[in-house]
Structure 1
Amino acid sequence: MMTLGAARLSKTVRQERIISELQASPTLRASELATALGVSHETIRRDLMELDSRGLINRTYGGAARPFAFEAPVRERSKYMVDERERIAAAVCERIAENEVLLMGAGATTNHVARRLAAIRRNITVITHDFSIAQALCHNPTIRTLFLPGRTHPTEGYVYGHQTIAGINGFQANWAIVGATGTDVDGLYDADDEAGAVYRAMVTRAARAILVADSTKFLVPSLVCYAEWQELDHFFTDQAPPPALTKAVRIAGVELIITGNQD
C-alpha cells in the first residue's frame, strides 16, 4: 500500500484511494489505511462505515473487504473515478467518425462518453436505453438519438426487457459501447441479468464492440458473464490490468488502450 505521508486529502479522494486499494488486495486493515492516508483511526472508521452503507465495500472487524457481485447505485458510482472516466471517454471519442451508428449501454462511464460525444462529434446516430445518455446527446442537434422501448428500471434510469432487446435486434451498428460491473479472465460481467442481456444484444448487433471500464472493475466477477473477451474488439481503461487479465485480453485479440498515467 502506498503511504501518502502528511498529504491532506479530501474525503472523496481518500475514499477513492480506499476503493482503489481494495482492487489490489481483497482485504485491508483499518490501521494500515490510517497510516497510509495520514489520518486518524476514527476518520478511517467513518470512511469505512460510509462506504459500507453505500455498498462500495464490505466492512469487517478491523478493516474492509472487497465485495463480490455488487453494483452500487449509479448516483453513487458517478462520484468516483471521475478524472479516469473522463480520460477514457476522450480516448473512445477519438475512434468515432461522422455518419457512424452507435449502440450505447447504460453506466457511469458510458455517460461520460455520451457527454464527450455531445461536445465534440457531429452527424452520428446513437441508439441507447439510458435516459441520462439520451439527455446528454440531445444538447447536440447534429446527433440523432434513438431511444429503445422497454421496462423502466426504478433506480438506474434505463429500460430493459424483451422489448428493449427486440428493439436492438432491429438495428445494425458500427460500434457497441458498453460498461461492466466487473471483469475477469473469462469476460465481462454485470450484477443484473436483465441489464447483461441488453449489453449482450448490443455487442452482437455491432460490427465492433468497445468495453469502457476503470481499474476498479479488474478481476471482479459478478452475477452474469454477458460477453467473452473474444467477442470484444477494444478495451479502454485507466490502468494496466493485472497480468492474468492482460494475458486473457491479449490472447482474445482485444486491443487494450490504457488512458491513465503509466509511471
Structure 2
Amino acid sequence: MYQEERLISIIDYLKEHKRISVDQICSLLHVSRDTARRDLVKLKERGAIIRTRGGAILPTNHDEIKDYSGRLNIVSEEKNMIGKAAASLIREGDHVIFDASTTVQACAEHLPDMNCTIITNSINQAEVLSSRKGVDIHLLGGKLQKEHRFLYGASVIEKLSSYHVDKALIGVVGVSEHGLTIAHEEDGMVKRKIISQAEQVIALADHSKIGRTDFFQYAELSDIDLLITDRLPDKEFQRLLDQHGVELLVAE
C-alpha cells in the first residue's frame, strides 16, 4: 500500500473513532511502527491531525455560530420536521418552557390554538406565539443578547425558580458523550435552569448536532428524557442514549 493510501485510511479511521494509536495503525495497515510514525508526521505537516502521546486525534473544527436570523435559514426543512414532532407532544393545559433556539421556534410555529402556558426567554418565540389563541405567554425579563435574541442573566434564572412545568423544550449546538453543549455560556446557564424546573426535558437537535461538542456543557445526557432528531443516529450513539435512559424520536 502506498503512503497516500495509508494516509487516507488513517483519516477515515479517525473520522469514525476520533483517535488512533501507533499500534492500531500497525495492526490496521500491516506496517512497522517506524512507518506508522512517518505517516503521522506527514499528516501533522499537512495540518490534518494533532499528534498525541502514542498516536493522533483530529483537530477541533470550530464552526462559526451565525446570528439568530442566519440560523433560521440553516437546515430549515429538518428543523421544520423536528418542530412539528415536538409540537404534537404538547397537550391542552400543559405548562411548558421554550428556550431560545431556532429549532424550538419551529415548534412554536407548529403549535395550534390551544389552552396552555408557555414560558420563554426568547423574544422571537413570544412573537410567534402571540398569534395563538388560548396560549398564555410568560416572557422572562433580563438582559437582551441582541445578536441571538434571547434574554439572560440573574433575573431570568431567579424567575425560572418560581416555575414548575410539565415539559421543557431545549435546543443544542452539540449533543455527544460529553452531554449537551452550546457556544454561549450565558445561554447555557439559562438552559441549565430550565432543565431543573421541568418534569420532562425534550431536546431538539437536527442530525448535524449529533456527535458534536461545543464550548459550554450545560447538561449531561442523563438530564434529558427525550431527543427528537431528523435522522436515525448510528448504533453507537443509540447505545449511548440507551445507557443514559434517553428516549429517541426520529421525526418524519
TM-score, normalised by the number of residues in structure 2: 0.74
What is the aligned residue count?
Answer: 200
Aligned equivalents of 2:99, 2:76: Cα separation in 1: 18
Query: Of 99, 103, 107, which aligns to 2:101?
Result: 107
The answer to whether structure 1 residue 72 and structure 2 residue 66 are counterparts is yes
Q: Following TM superposition, by how much is the alpha carbon of 1:192 offset from its aligned partner in structure 2, in angstroms? A: 0.5
Partner of 1:50: none
Partner of 1:145: 137
Q: Retained in 2: the 8 A contact 1:148–1:159?
A: yes
Q: Retained in 2: the 8 A contact 1:69–1:191?
A: no
Amino acid paired to 1:169: S
Aligned equivalents of 2:234, 2:64: Cα separation in 1: 20
Partner of 1:235: 227
Aligned equivalents of 1:151, 1:208: Cα separation in 2: 27
Q: Following TM superposition, by how much is the alpha carbon of 1:69 offset from its aligned partner in structure 2, in angstroms? A: 6.6
Partner of 1:3: none
Amino acid paired to 1:245: F
Aligned equivalents of 2:246, 2:200: Cα separation in 1: 11
Query: Which digits, 9 at most, give the CA deviation of each residue in 1:112-140, with x for residues without a partner?
Result: 011111xx240010000000000000001
Any idea what SS the aligned residue of 2:62 has?
coil
Q: Following TM superposition, by how much is the alpha carbon of 1:71 offset from its aligned partner in structure 2, in angstroms? A: 2.4
Q: Following TM superposition, by how much is the alpha carbon of 1:70 offset from its aligned partner in structure 2, in angstroms? A: 4.8
1:100-249 correspondence to structure 2 within 5 Å: 100-117=94-111, 120-249=112-241
The answer to whether structure 1 residue 256 and structure 2 residue 248 are counterparts is yes
Q: Could you list the structure 1 runs, at least 4 aligned residues long, displaced by more than 4 angstroms after superposition.
A: none
Aligned equivalents of 1:73, 1:66: Cα separation in 2: 21
Q: Retained in 1: the 8 A contact 2:171–2:203?
A: yes
Aligned equivalents of 1:121, 1:91: Cα separation in 2: 16
The answer to whether structure 1 residue 95 and structure 2 residue 95 are counterparts is no
Amino acid paired to 1:94: S
1:20-59 correspondence to structure 2 within 5 Å: none
Query: Which digits, 9 at most, give the CA deviation of each residue in 1:56-94, with x for residues without a partner?
Result: xxxx99xxx983375222211111211111111111122
Q: Who wins on radius of gyration, i.e. which is larger? A: 2
Amino acid paired to 2:245: G
Q: Retained in 2: the 8 A contact 1:90–1:113?
A: yes
Q: Retained in 2: the 8 A contact 1:100–1:125?
A: yes
Q: Following TM superposition, by how much is the alpha carbon of 1:228 offset from its aligned partner in structure 2, in angstroms? A: 0.7
Partner of 1:10: none
Q: Retained in 2: the 8 A contact 1:98–1:121?
A: no
Aligned equivalents of 2:67, 2:60: Cα separation in 1: 17
Query: Which digits, 9 at most, give the CA deviation of each residue in 1:173-214, with x for residues without a partner?
Result: 000100011111131101001100100101100000000010
Aligned equivalents of 1:71, 1:96: Cα separation in 2: 29
CA RMSD of aligned residues (A): 2.2
Q: Retained in 2: the 8 A contact 1:168–1:202?
A: yes
Aligned equivalents of 1:186, 1:253: Cα separation in 2: 15
Structure 1 portions without partners, runs of 5+ = 1-24, 27-59
TM-score, normalised by the number of residues in structure 1: 0.71
Partner of 2:20: none
Query: Which digits, 9 at most, give the CA deviation of each residue in 1:16-50, with x for residues without a partner?
Result: xxxxxxxxx69xxxxxxxxxxxxxxxxxxxxxxxx
Aligned equivalents of 1:66, 1:215: Cα separation in 2: 19
Partner of 2:8: none
Aligned equivalents of 2:73, 2:183: Cα separation in 1: 19
- Tell me which moved more, 99-108 or 239-248: 239-248
Q: Following TM superposition, by how much is the alpha carbon of 1:141 offset from its aligned partner in structure 2, in angstroms? A: 2.7
